[in-house]
């Protein structure tokens, strides 16, 4: 394979910026902003797009592997969702570099996925020889892929480091799958969380290499400013929340053995977020946060329980309650931010989040798996919007904490105890966190209720 072709494949990832803009069409041409205080720099947008595509690949691979070994009805649709992730990358490459480069990338990427499928199939057939063959193929792929990426980037991505990173990816997915098959579900879901988190490290490294190799294409901005680091951290937390919530809903309605551990993984995500709120704004704010989301949580729990009981009236009541909450909450946030977060836009954003998760759940229950997985992808993708918005709000509120070369070890102290009018911005931010994380806690309660009901 020619080095130029390899370089085209690597550089094709640049196209993810215009092809997969997360929150809006950022006009990066002639960027003249303050890089240190901007979460949406050209380099930051590239990193966010890679955050999305690489982490989605890992999540959908895990789901497809579980569905495959379980011979689930939605296995084909789960694989189609994974294929859709691959097609997004391939289309971006083909649009700019032509059919040949696009086909080369597609072949390579699908080979790597096929080796995982081979491993799943061999496991289902208890074929140890074929399992080892699949692992050997993945090891060879690791070596070959790391070598040509290193050559394409002129050594900026050392082959040894690349091989280690690819091996960690393989180990996470194989470990999650093996533990799932062996019914060590807690270890399986820890591996799933590790696999998801690992992809955000890869996206930072790859985005960093691309922007350093071609700085003029990114207006000489960098991927690891404190503001962009914060955006990526929130990309991770928000999107993992949606991904685990969707999976937990499926496990719950199906009565799967690993439901408790799926809910545990979601609990861990929620615990991480709750601890972050308390670290920034104090115990009092944490207590208010917990109290505030309870009513909203109940509406989601009511909907899931009503669905399980085939109670259409109960479903409608839950949806009406969610709609009223959306209107009231968006009006409150708009007033709290003095119109800087317009009520109509807030309401639309909250409704989109509700619609995507409810539709993914309803379609799954009804056996319309194509629609279900379309909304799974959309629901996860949507969470990158509040991640960017919240990151921008925090940076605007505390600009002095984002003027260095790395994300601060501790977020700014705000003195939430005994808040004054000057604390309204801080109040808005932790409330906004609550708005988007209420669903996670809802599934904690749903798990407990379902456990009692079963």
Please report the pLDDT score of residue 297 as a whole number.
56
> What pLDDT shows up at residue 189?
98
pLDDT on residue 448: 44
pLDDT of residue 141: 86
Long-range own/partner contacts, residues 413-418 (CB < 8 A, 24 or more apart): 413/280, 414/280, 414/281, 414/282, 415/282, 416/281, 416/282, 416/284, 416/285, 417/282, 417/284
**Domain limits of the chain?**
3-218, 238-453
Q: Is the pTM of this model over 0.85?
A: no
Q: What pLDDT tens digit does each residue of the chain (454 aa) get?
A: 433 333 333 333 333 333 333 333 455 456 767 788 899 999 999 899 989 989 999 999 999 999 999 999 999 999 999 999 998 877 755 653 467 767 777 787 889 899 999 999 999 999 999 999 999 999 988 887 777 667 666 777 787 887 888 889 999 999 999 999 999 999 999 999 999 999 999 889 888 888 888 898 899 999 999 999 999 998 998 899 889 989 988 998 898 999 899 988 988 887 777 776 676 556 765 565 655 554 665 677 678 788 889 999 999 998 998 888 778 767 755 654 456 567 787 788 878 888 998 999 999 999 999 999 999 999 999 999 988 887 887 788 778 888 765 554 554 443 333 333 334 333 334 334 444 433 333 333 334 444 443 4
């Amino acid at each position: 394979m020619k080095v130029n072709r390899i370089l085209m494949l690597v550089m094709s990832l640049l196209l993810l910026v215009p092809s997969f803009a997360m929150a809006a069409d950022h006009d990066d041409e002639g960027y003249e902003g303050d890089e240190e205080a901007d979460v949406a720099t050209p380099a930051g947008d590239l990193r966010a797009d890679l955050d999305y595509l690489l982490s989605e690949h890992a999540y959908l691979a895990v789901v497809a592997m579980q569905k495959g070994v379980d011979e689930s009805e939605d296995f084909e649709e789960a694989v189609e969702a994974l294929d859709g992730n691959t097609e997004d990358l391939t289309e971006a490459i083909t649009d700019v570099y032509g059919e040949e480069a696009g086909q080369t990338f597609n072949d390579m990427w699908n080979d790597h996925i096929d080796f995982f499928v081979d491993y799943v199939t061999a496991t289902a057939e208890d074929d140890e020889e074929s399992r080892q063959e699949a692992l050997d193929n993945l090891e060879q792929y690791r070596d070959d892929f790391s070598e040509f990426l290193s050559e394409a980037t002129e050594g900026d991505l050392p082959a040894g480091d690349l091989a280690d990173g690819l091996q960690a990816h393989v180990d996470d997915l194989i470990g999650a799958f093996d533990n799932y098959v062996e019914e060590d579900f807690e270890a399986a879901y820890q591996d799933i969380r590790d696999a998801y988190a690992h992809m955000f490290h890869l996206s930072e490294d790859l985005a960093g290499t691309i922007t350093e190799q071609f700085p003029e294409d990114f207006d000489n901005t960098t991927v690891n400013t404190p503001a962009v680091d914060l955006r990526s951290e929130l990309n991770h937390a928000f999107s993992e929340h949606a991904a685990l919530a969707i999976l937990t809903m499926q496990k719950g309605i199906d009565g799967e053995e690993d439901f408790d551990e799926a809910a545990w993984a979601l609990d861990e995500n929620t615990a991480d977020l709750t601890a972050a709120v308390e670290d920034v704004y104090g115990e009092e704010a944490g207590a208010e946060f917990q109290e505030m989301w309870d009513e909203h949580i109940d509406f989601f729990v009511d909907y899931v329980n009503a669905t399980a009981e085939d109670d259409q009236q109960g479903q409608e009541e839950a949806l009406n309650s969610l709609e009223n909450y959306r209107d009231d909450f968006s009006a409150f946030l708009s007033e709290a931010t003095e119109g800087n977060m317009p009520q109509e836009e807030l309401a639309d954003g909250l409704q989109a989040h509700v619609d995507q998760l409810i539709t993914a759940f309803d379609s799954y229950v009804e056996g319309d798996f194509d629609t279900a997985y379309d909304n799974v992808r959309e629901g996860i993708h949507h969470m990158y919007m509040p991640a960017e918005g919240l990151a921008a709000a925090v940076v605007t509120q505390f600009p002095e904490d984002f003027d260095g070369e790395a994300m601060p070890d501790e977020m700014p102290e705000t003195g939430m105890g005994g808040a004054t009018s000057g604390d309204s911005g801080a109040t808005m931010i932790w409330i906004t966190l609550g708005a988007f994380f209420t669903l996670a806690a809802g599934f904690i309660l749903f798990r407990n209720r379902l456990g009692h009901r079963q």
